Chain A
Amino acid sequence: MKPAQNYIELFKDNRALVERGSAGVMNTLRDAALSSLVRYGLPHNGLEEYLHTDVSKWFEPDWGMNLARLDMPVDFAQAFKCSVPNLSTQLYFLANDAFASSDRASKAGLPEGVFAGSIKEAAQNRPELVEKFYGRLADMDKPGIAAINTLFAQDGYILYVPDGVTIEKPLQLITLLSSKVDLMVNRRILVVLGRASQAKLLLCDHALTANNYLTTQVIEVFAGQDSTFELYDLEETHTANLRASELYISQDAGSKVSVDNLTLHNGQTRNTVCVTFDGQGAELSLNGVAITDKSQHVDNMTFVDHRVPDCTSNELFKYVLDESSTGAFAGKVLVREGAQHTSSQQTNRNICLTREARMFTQPQLEIYADDVKCSHGATVGQLDDKALFYMRQRGIPQQEARMMLMLAFVGEVISKVELEPLRDRLYRLVEKRFRGELTQCEGCRACR
């Protein structure tokens, strides 16, 4: 039986339970999600866009889901010590897929009118917000994980920044996977930025226990006119973790969005990023780093849709693959008819450290406008032998020289991180990762 069928039946049998534990507005999309799942099933490697990652297989085990919303207590202070010191953030937690109130998640210090917290809570206090934006970007008219996520998601995190408001302090949402049994979680994040507003959001994905996890994640970002948004999505989980994430961004005129997708430790990961330019003069900086070893797998698929003129997109993804790990990158840039003066650059560079490591890269550029500046490039290679020998001749031991070259390689992406304490921290994390010291997530005692 196809795995999708199991979930369709599971939903039908438990619909009342799912809906009882959810915000009402989330229930309004269940029918659409159900028919999408019936129609498309789960994404499998027979589809061009999932050629290198058979996500449907991940759903084959009989995953437990916390549909009854049983309290799964997590002692945050005990379990988690923030791995980004010197970075003063407004801290929030998602325990598995439920928003977790903690002492640290206070609203103090946030500008007036900002809402940051549980979608469920927002649906009660600010129903107009959730109704207007929830599920508007996530695309269920294609195979993907938006359907199954929308079918089962019961809570999540919402950030709303009103017009003209700047949140100076970065917001940090720590998502903790913590369960005594294997668990599937369906996480939902919604970000709405008003006109000329500014915010920074750091997502840290951690697994606290060694159980198997399957996470589906859907993030929707509405970047209003002239708004500025920085999103950092950092995964530090473990080898028994499966993660399928879809990030949808709509950029209005003059907005500036930067996304950094960092996979430092994982099991199997598929990240899909879809950005549409809906207003002129918007800018996107979309970057990613993946560092893998053992049999880890990271697949990033990006789609940038230039549907209006005068927008700029810059993309840089870098992978370092060790042992028998595999990576995939597919980057599609679509410049539609009339999207004149589009400037688009896409680069994907990869290093395979062993003969067993594999990288699949597929840049795609489709242009239907004639006055545009677009380029793309992809390379797969090894560390530069000449540079290695040069360094050794100067007395730098082979291992250290390799480390310096790998750090320099991914450093190009990390140097683009605008949050300085985070940037410094990332250099340290990456160095630790390369030294093999970061076997699981830095900072979680439970992992050690």
Chain B
Amino acid sequence: MSMLKIENLEAAINGKQILKGINLEVNAGEVHAIMGPNGSGKSTMSNVLVGHPAYEVTGGTATFKGKNLLEMSAEERSHEGLFMSFQYPVEIPGVSMTNFMRTAINEKRKYQGLPPMAPTEFLKFIKEKRDMVKLDAKFMNRSVNEGFSGGEKKRNEIFQMAMLEPSLSILDETDSGLDIDALRIVADGVNRLKSPETSVIVITHYQRLLDYIKPDIVHVLYQGRIIKTAGPQLALELEERGYDWVIKEYEDSLK
């Protein structure tokens, strides 16, 4: 079943064209890795998919679970089951984690026509998901991400992912700034959330994260286009040989 289908997607920010025709299809149950050198458009792609208002879609289509993704607001995309783990999770002083999560969960339930979650049920749910990413209870009374270490912020992203139970999760450089233990906890959380009904797009520079989250398909993004798609062995090859040979192969194919 097709989870996400992107055709000829083009996008710009501040008038500068970044994505120049992306084609990508992700099916339910699949894990895709998107790799590529700096400035190739990886973060732009994830931001466009989740509806960041700073990016302008200038062409192409994106279909998420059969619906036109590009017509939806950021919050609707979330309610429909799209999640992004931020490369730089944002601190929100004065908004407690509990209040933040309660509002997010209940807004989603409202969208689905469900009543708000009962407080006891909510607390149980929170505990279960916290345990999964080993996030201490004390974080729940703190302001969102405020004073969290780099590792805690990323674990908090996966905790939120667990809470919101998305169908498609985009992990935008979730491995950046993580030590090996934190990386394992994060990857373990992602793996436990995997199911035949859910999909993951892992955006990363390095093979490292892919040792823990095994991709089914690996893509290379370069200058706003996907220039190579192959199986998981491609990630290993990139780790060993860098991107130059893929870029050369692509440029030769254009001649």
Contact = CB atoms under 8 A, between A and B. Distances in A.
A409 to B, nearest CB: 6
A396 B107 contact: yes
A407 interface: yes
Interface in B37-79: 50-53, 73-75, 77-79
Contacts of B74: 389, 392-393
Interface string B89-120: 11111110001100110011001000000000
A389 B53 contact: yes
A397 interface: yes
A390 B95 contact: no
A408 B103 CA distance: 14
Contacts of B92: 384, 387, 390-391, 405, 408
B90 A392 contact: no
B103 A400 contact: yes
B90 A411 contact: no
Interface string A372-414: 0000000000001011011111111110100011011101100
B108 A408 contact: no
A404 B95 contact: yes
B84 interface: yes
B interface residue count range (under 10 / 10 to 19 / 20 to 34 / 35 or more): 20 to 34
A386, A397, A412 pick with most chain B CB within 10 angstroms: A397
A interface residue count range (under 10 / 10 to 19 / 20 to 34 / 35 or more): 20 to 34
A313 to B, nearest CB: 23
A384 B145 CA distance: 14
Given A395-B107, A408-B95, A390 B75 contact: no
B94 A407 contact: yes
Nearest to A392: B74
Contacts of A393: 50-51, 74-75, 77-78, 83-84, 86
Given A396-B103, A404-B99, A389 B164 contact: no
B93 A396 contact: no
B48 to A, nearest CB: 13
Nearest to A398: B75
B174 interface: no
A315 B50 CA distance: 41
Given A395-B79, A395-B164, A390 B94 contact: no
A395 B104 contact: yes
B160 interface: yes
Given A389-B52, A407-B94, A408-B94, A395 B78 contact: yes
Contact of A412 (B50, B86, B94): B94
Nearest to B101: A394
A409 B104 CA distance: 19
B81 to A, nearest CB: 10
A384, A392, A394, A409 pick with most chain B CB within 10 angstroms: A394
A386 B52 CA distance: 10
A414 to B, nearest CB: 10
Given A407-B94, A408-B94, A392 B75 contact: yes
B52, B89, B103 pick with most chain A CB within 10 angstroms: B103
Contact of B78 (A387, A394, A409): A394
Contacts of B78: 392-395
A392 B99 contact: no
Interface of B: 50-53, 73-75, 77-79, 83-84, 86, 89-95, 99-100, 103-104, 107-108, 111, 143, 160, 164
Can you list the 9 inter-chain pairs with the closest CB atoms, starting with the nearest? A408-B94, A395-B78, A392-B74, A390-B90, A394-B104, A408-B95, A395-B108, A386-B90, A387-B92
Given A391-B92, A393-B78, 14 more contacts: A384-B92, A389-B90, A392-B75, A393-B50, A393-B74, A393-B83, A395-B78, A395-B79, A395-B111, A400-B107, A404-B103, A405-B92, A405-B95, A408-B93
5 contacts: A391-B104, A393-B50, A393-B83, A404-B100, A405-B94
